[in-house]
Amino acid sequence: MKMNVLIVSRERPGDEIFGLGRAIRSIQDEMIALGHSVTILDATSWSDKDFETDARLQRWICWLSRLFGMSTTSVPALSERIVQVLRAKHLLRSNKKITHVWLQDSLLAVAYSWLVPAATKVKCVVSVHGLGSGAQSGNLDGLGLDARWMRIILFLERRALLRANLVILPSKAARTHLVRDLGLASISSHWHVLRHGRPTFSLPTRNIARQKLCIPDDQILVLAIGRVAPVKRYDIILEAVALLQKNHSNLQLCILGGQATNDLKPLIHNLKPEPSFVSSGDVPTFLAAADLYVSACESESYGLANVEALYAGLPCVIAAGGAAPEIIEKGAWLCYPNPQAINEAFNLLISNSALASRMGELAFARYNELPTWQEVTKEQIRLMSNI
């Protein structure tokens, strides 16, 4: 059966350079190659009417929140999900050929279950990308839900995900955390673990990459990838690099994920040279130019950027939390997410080239054990065809 799939995401302009944005487009390409029709509805194409709707919704939710003594910090995030589902609902009315709606967020699923009649013939698929519930992972990411909002959202999430035709999670760790967060006694039969596909792109040589980025050959470049957000724990990485630079004055950190936030700036000034914060979709060039890769996030539900670093054969130091032990296995140095542990690991890798080389070999070997996007897409299609 050929499917007509509407993928609904909350990705905004620029988000396509990050893991989720690249994953959505990878699976779209594979599904189209197999003869299915796939449309992505993200937040990059909002009209003036959509922005007006968002503003009205924010005013209404803020009023309601204050009325019941609840926090308003999460209002923009909740409102944008409602706008996206209203846009999806309009498309469903105008395009009767759509067979599946694939929501890329459990909070989108909450809005969908509320706004779209349950009797619709369109199948509802939900991908949960966070480590656990949307409420919990959103709070780790700075969403700011207070206790009352948490109870409400968790109740609605549980209802929406149990009603969906299919729920996809990227790791066993993500599924375990979701079951725990929602207070379920067991795993629902229509919840399935399906890992992301491994990335495939061409890497330039180290020399070419460094020339392009104007990086001296003798500089030790430590790379971190991911949008600048509290959950990524860049504060830990900055503190670790400050320790490293005491012994390695030619070491510099590059964060590929956007501009520095105000809370990070006091830590940045302790580093010499200061780290570079970059917004760029040219991930291969930065991977090829790097000597080491680091991630201090212990809440990854999968960690696509980590897998890209494996592909580049970089010696990796990654926080041993979330899905990292399951996905990365022996492909990286898994350590406690604190500055001292990261500093110790990198000092050993920098001082022992044979160890660093071996870690790079293990990284690439682990990458080759992960599924391809073609394999992932075929399994995704099988699951969606059987609902």
Token pair 């480590």: residue: 131
Asked if residue 322 has pLDDT above 80, the reply is yes
pLDDT of residue 68: 85
Q: Report in angstroms the alpha-carbon separations of 40 from 11, 12, 51, 341.
A: 10, 12, 19, 41
Do 170 and 298 belong together in one domain? no
The pLDDT assigned to 17 comes to 64
> Mind listing the pLDDT tens digit for each residue in 251-263?
999 999 889 999 8
Range scoring the smallest mean pLDDT among 14-28, 186-200, 221-235, 281-295 = 14-28
Q: How buried is 34 (Cβ within 10 angstroms: 0-12 exposed, 13-18 middle, 19+ buried)?
A: middle
Average pLDDT over residues 143-156: 88
Q: What 3-state DSSP class applies to 177? A: helix
90 and 136 together in one domain: yes
* CA distance between the termini of the chain: 12
Is residue 15 predicted with pLDDT exceeding 70?
no
Can you give the C-alpha Rg of the chain in angstroms?
21
Do residue 180 and residue 325 come from a single domain?
A: no
Same-domain pairing of 184 and 228? no
Tell whether 331 and 377 lie within a shared domain.
Answer: no
Average pLDDT of the chain is 93
Query: How much is the average pLDDT of 295-324?
Result: 96
Residues 178 and 55 in one domain: yes
Residues 272 and 299 in one domain: yes
Q: In this structure, are residues 272 and 248 in contact, taking their beta carbons and an 8 Å threshold? A: no
Residue the block writes with tokens 């796939």: 38
Residues 104 and 234 in one domain: no
Lowest mean pLDDT among 25-29, 118-122, 191-195, 306-310: 118-122
Residue 153 CA, chain-centre distance (Å), reads 21
pLDDT at 221 over 90: yes
- Residues paired with residue 335 on neighbouring β-strands, in sequence order: 319
304 plus 232 within the same structural domain: yes
Same domain, 313 and 351: yes
DSSP conformation letters of 53-106: HHHHHHHHHHHHHHHTT---TTHHHHHHHHHHHHHHHHHHHH-TT--EEEESSH
- Residue numbers of the domain that contains 185: 4-197+372-385
The helix or strand, by DSSP H or E, that contains position 16, with its residue range, turns out to be none
Residue where the block lists tokens 């495939």: 200
pLDDT band at 306 (very low <50, low <70, confident <90, very high): very high
How large a percentage of the chain has pLDDT more than 70?
98
According to the model, what pLDDT value does residue 22 have? 80
Residue 119: the pLDDT is 63
Q: How confident is the model at residue 70 (pLDDT cuts 50, 70, 90)?
A: confident
Q: Residue 141: pLDDT above 90?
A: no
Total-model pTM: 0.90
CA distance 135 to 131: 10
Report the C-alpha gap between 30 and 303 in whole angstroms. Answer: 21
Question: Are 61 and 40 members of one domain?
Answer: yes
pLDDT digit string, tens, across residues 360-374: 999 999 999 999 999
Helix or strand (DSSP H, E) at 112: helix 106-115
Q: What CATH code is carried by the domain that includes residue 346?
A: 3.40.50.2000
Q: Please determine, for residue 125, whether its predicted confidence score (pLDDT) is greater than 70.
A: yes
User: Confidence class of residue 16 from pLDDT cuts 50, 70 and 90?
Assistant: low
Q: When comparing pLDDT for 20 and 234, which is higher? A: 234
Same domain, 237 and 346: yes
Q: Is the pLDDT of residue 244 over 70?
A: yes
Closest CA to 313 of 327, 332, 300, 296: 332
pLDDT of residue 12: 80
pLDDT at 303 (0 to 100): 93
pLDDT in tens, 176-215: 999 999 999 889 999 999 999 998 889 999 999 999 999 9
Overall average pLDDT of the 306-311 stretch: 97
For the ranges 16-30, 224-238, 279-293, which has the lowest average pLDDT? 16-30
Long-range contacts of 201-208 (CB under 8 A, 24+ apart): 201/283, 201/284, 202/284, 203/284, 203/287, 203/288, 203/311, 203/312, 204/284, 204/285, 204/288, 205/288, 206/288, 206/289, 208/288
- The tally of domains found in the chain comes to 2
